[in-house]
Structure 1
Amino acid sequence: DLASVSTRADRDDGGWIVNGTKIWTSNAHTNDWFICLLRTTPLEADSNKREGLSQVLIDLHNTDGLELSPIPFLNGEHHFNEVSFTDVFVPDENIVGQAGMGWNQNTTEMAYERGGPDRWLSPFSTVEQLLRETQGTDIGERATELFGELTARWWSMRNLSLSVARLIDDGEAPSIESSLVKEMGTRFEIEVIEKLVELVDHQLTPESESLFQRLLAQCVLTGPGNTIRGGTIEILRSVASKGLQGLPA
């Protein structure tokens, strides 16, 4: 529940003092800056938890009191991090947009992230490599049939993403539409991986001489993470259902 964020920023002379943690921070160990959603107004028992949140820009390399902890994948790769703040000072000019409007800004930005093609195209290069390596073989014929089926669905997903992009271009914030695209795209990605595993029907290893098998092994290891990034399937369904009923997400 993003609105329940407890990492806080308390007012200080010329800025804010930040304490707390931010988890699942992508590439914090390689980036120079990142945007963090913080609570800048204390949450009262009877207040709306979506209010009093702000986005701030924080220097990842030249900030006292900031610590990064890696969250490795099952295969040992490092993408996610937990960022801890202990009395971190952030100047006023690092507030992104308007203080207290962080929830609205964040949900609008999520439409860009959830509606994009990277939410359903992840296994595409793996399927391409399968076709290259199996051309002219028995499994190649089945791979071609599978590619035809998947291409039709990829084309449908592409049109859905384009519809979200058009709404954004028109100045709208399509949170419902983008949530549905991401929910369908995530399930489709997992289905593609399962179909490929069923097709090859043998033990996969990241050390295989076959580039296709290495790519597929990577998909199997990292695929579950696709259901988390940008919001879990359950969260996306909740956002869409509440939005369709006119309720706050």
Structure 2
Amino acid sequence: MAASVPIGVFDSGIGGLSVLQHIHAALPRESLLYFSDARHAPYGGRPEQFIEARALAVGAFMTRHCVKALVVACNTATAVAITALRRAYPSLIVVGVEPGLKPAAALTHTKIVGVLATEATLASKRFAHLHETISAATSATFLTQACPGLADRIEQGQLDSPDTLALLMRYVVPLLEQGADTLVLGCTHYPFVKTQIATIVRDHAEQAVTLVDTGAAVARRLSQLLADRELLCDHGNGEVGGATSGETALLEAAFLRLLGMQVRVIRDDTQ
């Protein structure tokens, strides 16, 4: 497979960089093209019709750049729009992310799992089905916690600000107090505050607590699907490019700050 054929990865903002990081580590020869829909971020509090329309617009952008696969690196966009994307682009590999309820159920000892996610993810039919299926199969109890405002703070780079830490305390501590020994990071933004969450856990949990981030699982699934279609690149240089509907300098700064990568970003409104 020619190195010039990229894998597309997108999110409403910078959260999907946590998934791109896993993909880049697992598939270092693959060219990656990341799209941040920052002008419309975050998706978490948006109507489903709007989220689906934006996902399809980004999908059109990616197909114009001839991607061989598309990773929906956003829990909200996956929950709301992945079916529409697969219907619109039936020949394209489309991989989504979803809260790691299944691995969390396998890891918990108390059978109580906390799920941190956006309002839109928790309200989606896709999450409801996943919740019901895993609960029935494992007898685990899932305590869901919507986290309004958290993705915004992370998007703004406020990882250690007092406001961000106050939000994390408000969302995480009640789950710990109810006995959760496993916390699912159900938004791709949240791994960027994993250290802050771990500190809260250390100070407030009565037992060891495991944090579940599904980025590595997404990379494995993508790798398998590419291998099945003989689309894996075996001689590329792992070039990473970026595009955004927002300010290019902000995404370039996020690449450098969060991943240590210097990446050229172009602007595209994907109208």
When the two structures are superposed, what TM-score results if normalisation uses the length of structure 1? 0.23
Which structure has more RCO (C-alpha within 8 Å, separation ≥ 6)?
Answer: 2
When the two structures are superposed, what TM-score results if normalisation uses the length of structure 2? 0.21
Larger radius of gyration: 1
